[in-house]
């Protein structure tokens, strides 16, 4: 170690290390610490002078900077121009390619439109064929000469009704046989209202057909009441040996009668069960000791519910279409007749000028006849074309009416009233009546003497209007009833029991309690406050919306429609103008239906499926009860028409995207 200057030391063994020299330099009142580097021989500090840049050097630097900037801008411009040229070239190639595709598509589109126009002629032609079929059906009915009236002719229907009213003392079996003709007439009238296009139905015809239906229904029920009275007059002769009471069951394909007459008035005999069935009643003590009869008339049809209104197009639309086409026809006829007249006048003038040349005159007359005949043929062709145009417009209007939704919800219903647009009756109507037992037949010296009441069959009022004479409060308890559900009807949920309100003319749910249903035995039991018509109902939209659907071709003009819902899978075969139920699956198990294998026209087929409980057909009010993505009716109809035209070749199926798109578009798989 050695000492240097002001006392700082440095290791002599480390000559390469830097060292600090601490030195005080006086500069007024200020002082600073200087830094000395070995071998530098000088001092570096804030006070050292920098080299001054000259003006020429500064200009040179600015010039170099400007040149570099211009060079970069030029390179960027050239790069941009190159990229832009490449982009424009790609666009040009794509545009040319797209134009070629558009031209090719336009050429193909024109061909397809011509083909589509020819294909769509099948719709008015099919309607024309249906009109001819309807006219032919009247002729077929005329040449059958089976004694039944033509339901579309009011005079024949009135004659039929009047003649049947005059007939008396008909037995129940005779009325049942006659009812087959009556039910057939009612069915024909309903089909006329449903199958005839709305534009071909006049208001007076609709009123006439509906009045005929109501008259036939009322007369048929009246005849059943009279036949029941005749049967009850013989109750004493038909009494059961064991119980002493009369019990009778008469079954038919359309009607089943269960009647029980209380002849013994045994207060302990309060349970009524018809033989070989589980159908019956639990009557209270007051009825068990009364002179009464209990009747259950099960009609497998519903003649109690009010008739549904017939949908008709607006008169403005119909009149505008017909007037427009009529004007076209008249204009064409006038133009053609004018041309024919002018040609004939010219030919007449020429014929007067050259009367001497008889041969030429004859030839010209032949030409006139040929031209007039060709003009007439042309006129007929144009008229035929315009008729098809009218028919096409009416068909489109009718198809549009089928898919249009009602803008107004049905009338307001109270809590206990049944909305028949939301629910549907199934299995027919059970007419439950407590009747006063009429006077019985008495044999006297080989004769049967019977007292015939002028007022006819009378109903027993239960409970009575005044109950002051009865001591106990519960003297008139509800009557327990057990009914059997029709074997050809499917209930996907437990059926609801409703009763008919004769005053309000609607079905109600009040007055019914303790409802229980046994699906295996197909028995429904409930308690009824007062007797009257009852029926079973089910939600009409229980199978809506569909989970999926598929339309698959089977053969030429033959397809298979499969509809899958929450509860069932239904397969329907369609060929030409006929439909057939192919199969029904309930919970992945095949269900046997009497409709399977039977070909029917569309309207009867739809009604038959609805009556069997297989309702998959929405109405114009269904959108009020089912949450769906409503489509514009015109778009929907056009989609259906194109599917119908291509269904023999292509398969169609549902798509989940149809629910997500707007109302102006439909999406399905092809």
Judge whether residue 399 has pLDDT over 60: yes
Between 302 and 146, name the one with better pLDDT. 302
**Closest C-alpha to 174, from 230, 233, 111:** 230
Judge whether residue 245 has pLDDT over 50: yes
- Verify that 418 and 533 share a domain, yes or no: yes
CA separation for the pair 83, 478 (Å, rounded): 93
Tens digits of residue pLDDT in 84-100: 999 999 999 999 999 99
CA separation for the pair 118, 500 (Å, rounded): 53
- Token readout for 243 is 């119980």
In a domain, 136, yes or no: no
In a domain, 532, yes or no: yes
Pairing of strands 578-586, 589-591: antiparallel
- Token readout for 669 is 């798989």
Judge whether residue 34 has pLDDT over 50: no
Residue 295's beta-bridge partner residues?
A: 259, 433
Q: Say how many domains are in the chain.
A: 4
Which one of 413-417, 547-551, 633-637 scores highest in mean pLDDT?
547-551
Pairing of strands 442-444, 496-501: unpaired
When the pLDDT of each residue in the chain is averaged and rounded to a whole number, the result is: 82
User: Is there a cis peptide before residue 545, judged by omega within 30 degrees of 0?
Assistant: yes
pLDDT at position 591, please?
84
Tens digits of residue pLDDT in 306-340: 887 766 655 444 444 445 444 544 554 555 455 54
- Token readout for 228 is 């029941």
**Closest C-alpha to 401, from 575, 547, 557, 200:** 200
CB 534 within 8 A of CB 542: no
Across 302-329, b (16+ Cβ under 10 Å) vs e yields bbbbeeeebbebeeeebeebeeebeebb
- Verify that 525 and 602 share a domain, yes or no: no
Pairing of strands 447-449, 512-518: unpaired
pLDDT at position 311, please?
63
CB 22 within 8 A of CB 8: yes
Tens digits of residue pLDDT in 159-216: 999 999 999 889 999 999 999 999 999 999 999 998 888 777 888 999 999 999 999 9
pLDDT at position 26, please?
40
The residue-averaged pLDDT of 413-434 equals 92
pLDDT at position 575, please?
93
pLDDT interval class at 129 (50, 70, 90): confident
- Verify that 435 and 452 share a domain, yes or no: yes
The residue-averaged pLDDT of 510-539 equals 94
pLDDT at position 342, please?
59
- Verify that 107 and 254 share a domain, yes or no: no
pLDDT at position 39, please?
42
- Verify that 174 and 264 share a domain, yes or no: no
Percent of the chain with pLDDT over 70: 80
Residues 6+ positions from 450 with CB-CB distance below 8 Å: 233, 439, 440, 441, 442
In a domain, 138, yes or no: no
Between 138 and 466, name the one with better pLDDT. 138
Residues 6+ positions from 653 with CB-CB distance below 8 Å: 548, 549, 550, 551, 668, 669
- Token readout for 133 is 């079929």
113 φψ region: left (φ > 0), alpha (ψ -120 to 50), beta (else): alpha
Between 244 and 398, name the one with better pLDDT. 244
**Closest C-alpha to 364, from 352, 379, 380, 377:** 352
In a domain, 146, yes or no: no
Question: Where a domain ends, among 539, 559, 589?
Answer: 539
- Verify that 296 and 427 share a domain, yes or no: yes
pLDDT interval class at 112 (50, 70, 90): confident
Judge whether residue 358 has pLDDT over 70: no
What φ, ψ does residue 436 adopt, rounded to 5°?
A: -75, 130
In a domain, 621, yes or no: yes
pLDDT at position 355, please?
55
Question: Where a domain ends, among 169, 191, 226?
Answer: 226
pLDDT interval class at 110 (50, 70, 90): confident
**Closest C-alpha to 428, from 257, 294, 590:** 257
CB 230 within 8 A of CB 171: yes
pLDDT at position 121, please?
80
CA separation for the pair 365, 361 (Å, rounded): 6
pLDDT interval class at 222 (50, 70, 90): very high
- Verify that 300 and 420 share a domain, yes or no: yes
**Closest C-alpha to 418, from 545, 526, 539, 542:** 539
CA separation for the pair 422, 410 (Å, rounded): 10
- Verify that 204 and 251 share a domain, yes or no: no
CA separation for the pair 159, 143 (Å, rounded): 19
- Verify that 557 and 617 share a domain, yes or no: yes
The CA-atom distances, in angstroms, between 247 and each of 236, 294, 437 are 10, 10, 13
What φ, ψ does residue 4 adopt, rounded to 5°?
A: -130, 130
pLDDT at position 47, please?
45
pLDDT at position 382, please?
76
The CA-atom distances, in angstroms, between 394 and each of 192, 609, 620 are 17, 28, 19
Range of the domain at 251: 245-305+413-539
Judge whether residue 7 has pLDDT over 60: no
pTM above 0.85, yes or no: no
pLDDT interval class at 371 (50, 70, 90): low
Between 112 and 165, name the one with better pLDDT. 165
CB 163 within 8 A of CB 182: no
Task: Give the H/E segment covering residue 381.
Answer: helix 358-403
The CA-atom distances, in angstroms, between 359 and each of 287, 351, 568 are 107, 11, 83
Question: Where a domain ends, among 198, 226, 254?
Answer: 226
- Token readout for 479 is 């009557």
- Verify that 218 and 250 share a domain, yes or no: no
- Verify that 98 and 180 share a domain, yes or no: no
R_g of the chain, CA atoms, integer Å: 48
Judge whether residue 658 has pLDDT over 60: yes
CB 526 within 8 A of CB 479: no
pLDDT at position 13, please?
40
- Token readout for 555 is 């053969």
- Verify that 417 and 516 share a domain, yes or no: yes
In a domain, 181, yes or no: yes
CB 498 within 8 A of CB 534: yes
The residue-averaged pLDDT of 547-553 equals 95
CB 185 within 8 A of CB 148: yes
In a domain, 46, yes or no: no
330 φψ region: left (φ > 0), alpha (ψ -120 to 50), beta (else): alpha
Across 597-611, b (16+ Cβ under 10 Å) vs e yields eeebeeebbbbbbeb
In a domain, 17, yes or no: no
Task: Give the H/E segment covering residue 2.
Answer: strand 2-4
The crossing angle, in degrees rounded to 10, of helices 315-353 and 358-403 is: 170
DSSP, res 243 = T
Between 449 and 667, name the one with better pLDDT. 667
Tens digits of residue pLDDT in 142-162: 888 888 899 989 999 999 999
């Amino acid at each position: 170690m050695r000492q240097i200057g002001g006392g700082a030391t440095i290791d002599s063994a480390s000559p390469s290390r830097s060292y600090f020299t601490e030195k005080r330099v006086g500069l007024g009142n200020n002082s600073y610490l200087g830094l000395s580097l070995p071998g530098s021989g000088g001092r570096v500090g804030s006070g050292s002078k920098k080299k001054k840049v000259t003006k020429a050097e500064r200009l040179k630097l600015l010039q170099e900077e400007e040149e570099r900037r211009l060079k970069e801008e030029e390179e960027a411009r050239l790069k941009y121009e190159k990229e832009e040229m490449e982009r424009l070239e790609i666009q040009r190639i794509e545009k040319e390619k797209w134009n070629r595709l558009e031209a090719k598509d336009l050429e193909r589109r024109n061909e397809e439109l011509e083909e589509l126009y020819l294909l769509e002629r099948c719709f008015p032609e099919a309607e024309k064929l249906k009109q001819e079929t309807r006219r032919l059906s009247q002729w077929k009915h005329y040449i059958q000469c089976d004694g039944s009236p033509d339901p579309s002719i009011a005079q024949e229907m009135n004659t039929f009704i009047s003649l049947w009213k005059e007939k008396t003392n008909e037995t129940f079996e005779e009325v049942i046989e006659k009812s087959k003709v009556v039910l057939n007439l009612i069915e024909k009238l309903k089909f006329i209202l449903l199958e005839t296009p709305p534009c071909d139905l006049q208001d007076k015809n609709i009123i006439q057909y509906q009045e005929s239906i109501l008259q036939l229904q009322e007369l048929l029920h009246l005849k059943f009441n009279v036949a029941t009275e005749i049967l009850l007059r013989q109750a004493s002769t038909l009494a059961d040996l064991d119980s002493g009471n009369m019990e009778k069951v008469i079954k038919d394909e359309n009607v089943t009668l269960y009647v029980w007459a209380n002849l013994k008035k045994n207060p302990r005999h309060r349970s009524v069960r018809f033989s070989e069935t589980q159908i019956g009643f639990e009557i209270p003590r007051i009825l068990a000791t009364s002179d009464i009869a209990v009747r259950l008339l099960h009609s497998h049809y519903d003649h109690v519910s009010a008739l549904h209104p017939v949908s008709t197009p607006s008169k403005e639309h119909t009149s505008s279409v017909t007037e427009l086409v009529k004007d076209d026809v008249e204009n064409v006829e006038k133009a053609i007749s004018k041309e024919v007249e002018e040609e004939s006048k010219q030919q007449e003038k020429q014929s007067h000028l050259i009367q001497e040349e008889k041969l030429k005159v004859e030839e010209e007359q032949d030409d006139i006849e040929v031209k007039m005949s060709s003009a007439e043929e042309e006129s007929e062709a144009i008229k035929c074309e315009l008729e098809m145009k009218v028919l096409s417009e009416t068909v489109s209007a009718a198809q549009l009416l089928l898919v249009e939704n009602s803008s107004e919800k049905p009338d307001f219903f109270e809590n206990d009233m049944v909305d028949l647009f939301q629910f549907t009756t199934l299995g027919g109507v059970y007419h439950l009546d407590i009747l006063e037992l009429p006077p019985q037949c008495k044999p006297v010296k080989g004769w049967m003497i019977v007292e015939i009441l002028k007022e006819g069959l009378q109903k027993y009022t239960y409970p009575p209007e005044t109950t002051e004479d009865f001591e106990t409060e519960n003297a008139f308890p509800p009557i327990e009833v057990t009914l059997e559900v029709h074997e050809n009807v499917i209930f996907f949920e437990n059926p609801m029991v409703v009763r008919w309100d004769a005053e309000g003319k609607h079905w109600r749910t009040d007055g019914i309690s303790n409802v229980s249903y046994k699906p295996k035995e197909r028995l429904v039991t409930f308690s009824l406050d007062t007797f009257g018509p009852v029926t079973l109902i089910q939600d009409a939209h229980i199978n809506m919306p569909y989970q999926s659907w598929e339309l698959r071709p089977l053969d030429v003009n033959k397809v298979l429609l499969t509809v899958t819902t929450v509860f069932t899978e239904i397969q329907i075969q369609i060929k030409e103008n006929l439909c057939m139920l192919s199969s029904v699956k309930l919970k992945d198990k095949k269900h046997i239906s009497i409709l399977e294998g039977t070909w029917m026209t569309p309207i009867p087929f739809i009604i038959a499926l609805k009556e069997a409980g297989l309702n998959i057909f929405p109405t114009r009010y269904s959108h009020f009860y089912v949450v769906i993505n409503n489509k514009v009716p015109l778009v929907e109809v056009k989609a259906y028409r194109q599917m119908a035209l291509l269904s023999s070749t292509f398969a169609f199926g549902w798509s989940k995207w149809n629910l997500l798109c707007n109302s102006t578009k439909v999406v399905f798989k092809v």
